[in-house]
Structure 1
Amino acid sequence: MNHTSRTYSKADAQWLFKMAWRDGKASGKRLVLFMASIILGIAAVVSIQSFSNNLKENITIQSKALMGADFVIDSEQLPNEKVQRIIDSLGGQNAREVNFVSMVAFPNSGATKFMQVRGIEGGYPFYGTLMTKPISAGKKYQRNNGALVDGTVLLQYNVKVGDSIKIGNSVFPILGTLLSVPGSTGIGASFAPSVLIPFHSVEGTGLLQKGSRIDYNYYFVAKPEQDLELLNETVDPILDAERADMDTHTETSERLGRRYENVGRFLNLVAFIALLLGCVGVASSVHIYIKEKLRAVAVLKCIGATRKQTFLIYLIQIAGMGLLGGLIGTVAGLVLQQLFPLILQGLLPFQVELSISFQAILMGLTLGLFMSVLFALSPLLSTWYVSPLQVLRIDEQGSFASKKARLWVLAAIVLFTFLFAFWLLQNWQRAFVFVVGILITFAVLAGFANLFMKGIKKYFPSSWGFTARQSLLNLFRPNNQTTVLVLAIGVGMFLISTLYFTKDFLLAKANLENNEQSPNIILFDIQTEQKEAVVNSILLDELPVISTIPIVTMRVHSIKGKLANAIRLDTTSTINQWIINHEFRITYRDSLISSENSVEGEWPSVAIAGEPIPISLSDNVARDAQVKLGDHMVFNVQGVIMETVVRHIRTVDWGRVQLNFSILFPKGVLEKAPQFHVVTTHAPDEATSATMQRELVHKFPNVSILDLRQILSLIEDILNKISWVINFMAFFSILTGIMVLIGSVRTSKYQRIKESVLLRTIGARSKQILRITALEYLYLGLLGSGIGLLLAVLGSQMLAYFVFEIPFTPSWVPFLVILPGITFLVLLIGLGNSISVLRSPPLEVLRKEKS
């Protein structure tokens, strides 16, 4: 008995697979676009996830090499007695470094360059490689009092090994070309390329002056079995109180991972949108496909097939297509992944070694099968409730019997969407908001589609001509596809336009101002006694002095009456620790600049003798210090205690290429405080800039000059790479949306064939049928894409306000290009559907479709 049962089950399964294969083979063309939706969505997810996994693995593996040591203690000043005791208690540093940025000169060529000077003592780096040419130069530069200079700089200024380099008051022979050094990223090294000299020779340069930005680093090799996490938790708070800090290689790994987090989030968002578009394509394609198959299901039931058997035939068919689509999409994703290191070259501090991510492969195959079945379940349920009588007549009542089952399927789809969004975005609130936004979009689109149909039905224009009336009737006739097509078109338009607006946000925030009114040369570290001479030197070269900005350094002494040390020790305090540990560089002026906007209060405020000094805070400082208008803050200005009151809060666009400050003082308060100055000017060409820089470096070796024209090409290259990534991934999602659109509209062809044949049979001309079809798809295209675009504008405005915190200025491209383009595409596909019908006799078409 059991043997017979097993034989029957096996034969039954074989019959189901055979029927699914035969029916699928006969309908292959209809399912190709269904597969295309899956392939593109899976390819986007697999490529991005596989690359992200590789990037995380590379950062973890190379974290020691990126730092060059197990942990480092860094400070902006020489260690005091307490910090030195901590260093000694750890066994003493294995290497130490002093680094700062400065102008350096090449006496042989007369050229100057803004560079990062790093004075090294000891065997640093202990991990990774100090790559030099010749190799021996990295081992002997310290004892021979020589310099290792960035290779790109040597090529740029036609300088070679054996020449000399002047840093401040000292001249060093160039012993070797510096090819790579741990801790220098591609971007940072390009802005201020490195030059390495011995630690003991830095003092002789005369550049370690008061007010200069100097960092001291002490590198350590951990002892065996030393718990770096515990060490950091114990020592770092003590160092923070002494204006020092500890970093471990594991922290560096985490920080570097966060540094590329935003890029990863955007790519994950793109992948999610591409996959969601694929899901919409699956649902809409299968919905129309299954409706066409309902008569075939009824026939099967007439000849004895059960509900379960007919349901499983099409479930097997869809699952097989999903598995195949997932397999092709996974392979395509792994191929696409190879492009990411090339695209992001120069944005990462190391070469990413690509490997096959089995997690991404498993995810691609699983997603292909799972999303196909899940998003096809709702239309597939129709096969369960089909009556055999539907062979003879149309029976629409069956769909109502599945309402409860459809609700369960809908709940499963929402849960899947939320879980997948959470997995990609790593934030349940963002995932929840995103899913709610998608649900609202679907609801609004479906609601408008139904209102549109009811409105046409109620206010039908009976006086219109035959073709116009027939095109409107098609929108609300039985078995119409208006809601499905409006949803597919509208959601595609919504996601594509939102992605386009987001792309504009990202590129606008990275925009670099470069005009005649903007300074392109910045001189800083100018001492007060040098300011007038520096300004005169610039004026003698007939260049403008755009601004002279005084900078005073200070630290927070107390906030709202509570001392900084008390805040540090208070474990319940929610004030951000960086506020009390940071050395602020502030300025004083009586106006706001273009990158600042008032939030609360008024500026300038006038200082009144005997009262607290009014100050202006940037909104991030006010938030992190937890102060508002009228609150008091006391600052330690290099030993002088100053009581202030918050009179103004402003926003600052930190992305602008200009000097911005967290704290502003009014004029008439800090003029006599110890300070240094920043002077900005504009050089019209490279020759003028080079002449001015040579003169200034010769007269004032401590003054650093940042020539923005020298780094402009680098910034533009970086922005071009970012733009390329964004545009490429946006195009990838747009392509997915177009494929979904083609699939949905193309599949609806099989619902139009019978109507077209009947119209031809009763005497309608081909031009009339084409006109009816054109008008119908024009209505659908305009309705779906128009509502989708309006929803995208609303969603993007919220995104700009809540996420990017910038004003929203919508681009006209979606209105002038994407909206007409999508509408025209819908119209074109719709007309293409009818051409094959119109070119053949009605009987031939019906026989062909029946076969």
Structure 2
Amino acid sequence: MDNLGWIALMAVRDFRKNGTKLALFISSILVGIAALVAISSFGYHLTSDIERQAKELLGADLVLSKNQSFEEPDFGTNVASRAKEINFASMVSFVGKDESRLTQIRALEGDFPFYGSFETSPAIGEESFRKGGKRALVERILLAQFDAEIGDSIKIGEVVFEIAGSLQRVPGQTGITATVAPAVYIPMETLDETGLIQFGSRLNYEFYYAFADETAIDALIEEYKDSWEEESIRYETVQSRKESTGRSFQNLGNFLSLVAFIAVLLGCVGVASAVNVFVKEKLPAVAVLRCIGVSAGVVFSIYLCQILLMGTIGSVVGAALGTGLQYMLPAVFQDFLPVDVTVGISWPAIALGIFTGILISLLFALIPLLKIRTVSPMMTLRPEEGNTRFVNDPLRWAVLAAILCFLVGFSYYLLRDWIQTGWFTAFVVFSFGVLWLFALGIMGGIRRWLPISLSYPIRQSLANLYRPNNQTVSLIATIGLGTAMISTLFFVQYQLLDEVKFADKEDQPNMLFFDIQTQQVEAVSQLLRDEGLPILQQVPIVTMGLTAINGVTKKENESLSEESGMSRRLYNREYRVTYRDTLIQSERLTDGALYRYKQAGDSIFISLDKGYAMRTGLKLGDELTFNVQGRTLNTYIGSFREVNFRQVSTNFLVLFPDNVLTNAPKFHVVVTKTNSDQEAAKIQNQLVRHFPNVSVINLSTIVDTLEEILGKISFVIQFMALFSILTGLLVLISSLIISKYQRIKETILLKTIGAQRAILIRINTVEYLFLGSTAALSGILLSLLATFLLSFYVFEIPFRVEWIPLISVYGAITSITVILGWWNGRDILKTPTMEVLRT
């Protein structure tokens, strides 16, 4: 038999004898590969479905939109179908229920969508709506919230509509969109009757087009592109919607793939630990092989072949499991998907999973496996020769470099961005490094400073953490990182929710009334006073656009270079401003001064938010020319303010001085504070009855909406993070099983010298209590650091320790570790003493 065949035969024989010890550790790779293949397969099919259903995403070939009425372009005979929509925010009241809510009203004219359809319940709901009359289609989430049914009535402005159908899906809209702004569709012919279209109303106009098949849409758009840019008309085509949607879900898929990749890495730490213990047990056998003339390279190849076999099995089974797991994902992600996703076998994803699993198994197994090369035949006579150290082995450093290169390369393959790749790689290396050092510190501290005064069971259990075949480092690394992921998610979610719970803060307003016409301001304010509510703020708001910066118009700015030109968004955005000569609580003057406007002819000095000015390149003294409802107004930047937009208040990017915009077309906002949700609902319904055009924002409802959205997002992340927790648990179980024989010998020796069963149980319990609590504590400390950095640098919110989720996570991880340790120790205690002594 040739050398290669003999190596394979020896590997298979040893695998049959010892495969069980390594099988559970390879299963930890299996879980990570399953998650990776499932996400990759799902992403592949989602991309294909977005491509296939691109027209249904937009519902038309072209959409034009602007927040002001505009002249519709004449596309001539190219247009096969056309529709128009006017949408705006307004209150909707449920007749007979005395309840109301802010919604997105969409007045529709025409047969939009031209591709796909409104999915309604019942199915004839859309057909009934298309017949016209006072019928409405209402988002299902809105019907569920107010326990309304088909056939019930809703009041929009001055008109009562019959609910013709429940909207299950609108082209291009996801469940998250419906949660934030539930839509109500009404026929365009009824819009004027509602009385909601008044001077100063905030409206968005949209035109939908379906073109004849032979139309060259890109060439047609090219003809109008410059004029649309000049008039701030937004346009969207099937291709642009497909690209933007694809990018969004590509980013989501990459993030989830990274989460799955972390689970793979955790499993590989378990493999390295398992192979390390496996190699220690095999050193005597390796010494014997060396004595009979087998070279170190051949012996190394035998065990490498065995690891390759196990890695292949784990990767193939993981890929098969992941292919089946993807059938669950459409249900998990249903609130985030704008298209119907098909599932099936994705061979590229399977190949990626198998390749990744095999490669990473070999890389992590090589570190402990390299010890075999240094085993001397003398170990058969001198067992101490087995304590081989190879810190300066160049191959070991080469393997570590290969692992780092793989980590960087695979991360870049998923992210396609070197900066993000660097941050992710740094996070993984830092996390593993911290947990590894933490575990070594615990082991070294116990070995050096274990008090002799402690009772024997406690001293014995703590000493087990640094004795031969211990799994302290691998368990703290895997369980700790899994705990860190879950804990960071919980802590950040709690931080964000606590920050937006305005209604629970006594010094914060919780109700905003807007779209109030000038002639209604006093009446609205008086109604609130009659109910005993304070008028905390009453603010006029004027809408305007920016036409020139330092004399440079939007068109002229487009021809300038990026270095000399200003940001395009300065010209494109609609500015809502107010006027006053004083600052409010949420503002702080940082540069310049607030200049008053005393008489006609004075220069007008405005104040800008400093952050916005820095982002757009505006400076003190710059001249800004605004268009206020057709009138040109030249202004100069006189000061910068630091505005706390997180504080509930009427905050503005641009602040005008008093006496400039007094006669400009405007609407008003009134802010108050109620003492309870019941009082807020009462005031809201009363105001809507008297002033149908006034919209109300109840911040308690906003908080509920944010909680629901964060709940859906956290569910998806938790679903993926659980793979890491599952991996950690598999590594824990595997560690217990692979070190079981060593523990049996120790237990039998203790029983032989008189240790009672109760003492042995106590030793086992205390050991895993300390191990579990240490792993949980290390993960929680790491998550607190991550939460602090995210809170301070990303979300810019105060960092607070959330004790309830912290204690819950700590208790859960510790309890699971103790239970699994007790379950493993139960079999050890049942093993007869003589059976082990004979062995």
TM-score by length of 1: 0.82
Contact 1:146 1:175 in 2 (8 A): no
User: How many residue pairs align between the two structures?
Assistant: 827
Rate the CA distance shift 1:198–1:569 in 2: closer, same or farther, 3 A: farther
Equivalent residue, structure 2, for 1:4: none
Specify every segment of 5 or more residues in structure 1 that has no aligned partner in the other structure, as ranges: 1-7
Measured after TM superposition, the shift of residue 232 of structure 1 is 5.4
The answer to whether the 8 A contact 2:267-2:728 is kept is yes
Paired position in structure 2 for 1:129: 117
Indicate conservation of the 8 Å contact 1:109/1:159, yes or no.
no
**2:491 maps to what in 1?**
504
C-alpha spacing 1:228/1:375, structure 2 compared with 1 (3 Å): farther
Task: Indicate how the Cα distance of structure 1 residues 366 and 131 shifts in structure 2: closer, same or farther if over 3 A, else same.
Answer: same
Where does residue 625 of structure 1 map in the other structure? 616
Structure 1 position 233, deviation (Å): 6.3
Structure 1 residue 361 corresponds to structure 2 residue 350: yes
Choose which of 293, 312, 329 in structure 2 pairs with 1:340. Answer: 329
Matching residue of 1:429: 419
Of the candidates 2, 5, 13, which is equivalent to residue 22 of structure 1?
13
Counterparts in 2 of 1:730-749, with a 5 A limit? 730-744=721-735, 746-749=737-740
Aligned to 1:550: 540
| Aligned residue among 306, 319, 324 for 1:317 | 306
What letter matches 1:356 in structure 2? I
Q: For residues 617-649 of structure 1, what are the alpha-carbon distances to aligned partners after superposition, in whole Å with 9 as ceiling and x for unaligned?
A: 162x23431235676645444424142426334
Distance across 1 between alignment mates of 2:815 and 2:677:
50
What corresponds to 2:718 in structure 1? Answer: 727
Q: How far apart, CA to CA, are the structure 2 residues paired with 1:107 and 1:472?
A: 69
Residue 38 of structure 1, CA deviation: 1.1
Aligned residue in 2 for 1:3: none
- The offset of 1:124, in angstroms, is 2.4
2:479 maps to 1:489 = no
Q: Partner of 1:645 in structure 2? A: 637
Of 239, 243, 246, which aligns to 1:254?
243
CA-to-aligned-CA distance 1:211-265 (integer Å, 9 cap, x gap): 2121222222245465656665664443122021111122223333455567545
For the 8 Å contact 1:496–1:737, the answer to whether it is kept is no
User: 2 CA distance for matches of 1:173 and 1:775?
Assistant: 67
Partner of residue 45, structure 1: 36
Distance 1:695 1:58, change over 3 A: same
Unaligned runs of 5+ in 2: none
Aligned 1:29-428 pairs, distance under 5 A: 29-80=20-71, 84-85=72-73, 87=75, 94-103=82-91, 114-131=102-119, 138=126, 145=133, 147-150=135-138, 152=140, 167-168=156-157, 180-189=169-178, 192-199=181-188, 202-203=191-192, 205-224=194-213, 228=217, 235-259=224-248, 264=253, 266-393=255-382, 394-396=384-386, 399-400=389-390, 403-428=393-418
| Contact 1:500/1:730, CA 8 A, preserved across alignment | no
1:40-67 per-position Cα deviation (integer Å, ceiling 9, x unaligned): 2123223333333333333332221121
Q: Which amino acid aligns with 1:55?
A: L
Separation in structure 1 between the aligned mates of residue 79 and residue 781 of structure 2, nearest angstrom: 65
User: 2:543 is aligned with what amino acid?
Assistant: T
Across the aligned residues of Structure 1 and Structure 2, the Cα RMSD in angstroms comes to 4.5
Query: In structure 2, what is the equivalent of residue 566 of structure 1?
Result: 556
Query: Letter of the aligned partner of 2:487 in structure 1?
Result: Y
State the one-letter code of the partner of 1:509.
L
**1:76 Cα offset (Å):** 1.7
Instruction: Check whether the contact 1:615–1:665 (CA below 8 A) recurs between aligned residues.
Output: yes
| Cα distance change, pair 269–809 in 1 and its aligned pair in 2 (3 A) | farther
Deviation at 1:75, TM superposition (A): 1.6
**CA-to-aligned-CA distance 1:780-817 (integer Å, 9 cap, x gap):** 77776655654444344334444444333344468645
Residue in 2 aligned with 1:579?
Answer: 570
Specify which of 658, 679, 686 is matched with residue 670 of structure 2.
679
Residues 1:605 and 1:288: Cα distance change in structure 2 (over 3 Å): farther
CA displacement 1:626-679 (0-9 Å, x = unmatched): 23567664544442414242633436556x887654334466654443210123
Cα distance change, pair 133–444 in 1 and its aligned pair in 2 (3 A)? closer
Answer yes or no: is the 8 Å Cα contact 1:66–1:182 preserved in 2. yes
Q: Hey, what's the Cα distance between the residues in 2 that align with 1:55 and 1:17?
A: 42
Alpha carbons of structure 1 residues 183 and 414: separation in structure 2 relative to 1, 3 Å: closer
**Cα separation, 2, equivalents of 1:356 and 1:385:** 45
1:647–1:87 distance in 2 versus 1, CA, 3 Å: farther
Do structure 1's residue 615 and structure 2's residue 578 form an aligned pair?
no
- CA gap of 1:151–1:276, structure 2 versus 1, over 3 A, is closer
- Find the residue that maps to 2:390 and give its secondary structure: helix
How far apart are the structure 2 equivalents of 1:172 and 1:841?
81
CA distance in 1, matches of 2:755, 2:676: 73
**SS of residue matched to 1:395:** helix
Q: Aligned-pair distance for 1:198? A: 4.5
Measured in 2, the distance between the counterparts of 1:671 and 1:777 equals: 73
Q: Whole-Å Cα distance in 2 between the matches of residues 154 and 206 of structure 1?
A: 24
1:603–1:616: 8 Å Cα contact kept in structure 2? no
Structure 1 pair 372–659 and aligned structure 2 pair: CA distance change class (3 A) = farther
542-551 vs 688-697, which moves further: 688-697
Q: Secondary structure at the match of 1:321?
A: helix
- Per the alignment, do residues 660 and 348 of structure 1 end up closer, same or farther by CA in structure 2, a change over 3 Å counting? farther
Summarize deviations over 1:824-851 as a string: whole Å, max 9, x none.
7767777877776676577732654xxx
- How far apart, in 1, do the equivalents of 2:98 and 2:444 lie? 81
Seen in structure 2, the aligned counterparts of structure 1 residues 251 and 746 have a Cα distance that, compared at 3 Å, is same
Q: CA deviation at 1:577?
A: 1.7
Deviation at 1:69, TM superposition (A): 0.6
1-structure distance, mates of 2:166, 2:386: 80
Moved more, 18-27 or 167-176: 167-176
Name the counterpart of 1:5.
none
The match for 2:522 is 532
SS across alignment from 2:526: helix
Query: Does the 8 Å contact 1:292/1:751 carry over to 2?
Result: no
- Relative to 1, partners in 2 of residues 1:475 and 1:126: Cα closer, same or farther, differing over 3 Å? closer
* 3-state SS in 1 of match to 2:633: strand
SS of the counterpart of 2:114? Answer: coil
Distance in 2 between residues matched to 1:774 and 1:691, nearest whole Å = 58
Q: Partner amino acid for 2:496?
A: K
Q: State whether residues 363 and 399 of structure 2, in contact with CA within 8 Å, keep that contact through their aligned partners in structure 1.
A: yes
Q: Counterpart amino acid of 2:207?
A: Y
Sort the Cα spacing of 1:616 and 1:369 in 2 relative to 1 into closer, same or farther, 3 A: same
Moved more, 135-144 or 179-188: 135-144
The percent of aligned pairs where both chains have the same amino acid is: 38
Matching residue's letter, 1:389: M
What is the distance in 2 between the residues matched to 1:766 and 1:142? 79
Give the deviation of 1:449 after TM superposition.
Answer: 6.0
Change in CA separation of 1:461 and 1:713 when aligned onto 2, cut-off 3 Å? closer
Secondary structure of 1:217 counterpart: strand
Distance 1:112 1:382 in 2: 73
Query: Which string of whole-angstrom CA distances, capped at 9 and with x for unpartnered residues, describes residues 279-326 of structure 1?
Result: 211112212222221222222333444434422332232222222222
Following TM superposition, by how much is the alpha carbon of 1:410 offset from its aligned partner in structure 2, in angstroms? 0.9
Mapped to 1, the partners of 2:440 and 2:121 lie a distance apart of 73
Counterpart residue identity of residue 52, structure 2: I
Q: Aligned partners of 1:171 and 1:785: how far apart in 2?
A: 58
Aligned counterpart for 1:439 among listed residues 420, 429, 437:
429
Provide the C-alpha distance between the structure 2 equivalents of 1:193 and 1:468, rounded to a whole number of angstroms: 60
The answer to whether the aligner puts 1:700 opposite 2:691 as a matched pair is: yes
Q: Which amino acid aligns with 2:609?
A: L
